């Protein structure tokens, strides 16, 4: 699935609720999901199933916020990360920054 496909899926499923909730409350939900992921990472042995679920939630809430802002995540990602390191222009990065 492409990033744009997922963002559209989240928009189709949740945009009305996201609009009603608003961007600030949606951002708080995103932060809560990041907190849940952080708790998983604190464990000596990371539960990969739980970690993958929280990562999916983080991406879903990020997509919801992008939809509220009318930001095309796929385009934004490709612009910000064009396939090479932004500093040294290599792939893989050789500058260590």
- pLDDT for 53: 98
Q: What is the pLDDT of residues 19-31, one digit of tens each?
A: 999 999 999 999 9
| Domain annotation covers residue 39 | yes
| Whole-number average pLDDT of the chain | 96
6 Cβ neighbours under 8 A, 6+ residues apart: 59, 63
| Domain annotation covers residue 87 | no
| Domain annotation covers residue 49 | yes
State both tokens at 25. 């409350």
Q: Model pTM?
A: 0.91
Counting the structural domains of the chain, the total is 1
| Domain annotation covers residue 91 | no
> What's the CATH code of the domain at 56?
1.10.287.1080
Q: Which domain holds residue 60?
A: 3-80
The answer to whether the CB of 2 falls within 8 A of the CB of 70 is no
User: Of 56 and 96, which is predicted with more confidence?
Assistant: 56
54 Cβ neighbours under 8 A, 6+ residues apart: 33, 36, 37, 40
The half-sphere exposure of 47 on its side-chain side, counting CA atoms within 13 A, is 10
């Amino acid at each position: 699935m492409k990033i744009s496909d997922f963002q559209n899926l989240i928009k189709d499923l949740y945009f009305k609720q996201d609009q009603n909730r608003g961007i600030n409350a949606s951002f708080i939900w995103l932060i809560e999901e990041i907190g849940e992921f952080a708790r998983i990472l604190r464990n000596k042995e990371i539960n990969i199933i739980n970690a993958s679920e929280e990562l999916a939630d983080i991406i879903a809430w990020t997509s919801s916020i992008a939809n509220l802002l009318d930001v095309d995540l796929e385009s934004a990602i490709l612009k910000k990360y064009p396939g090479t390191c932004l500093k040294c222009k290599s792939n893989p990065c050789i500058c260590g920054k």
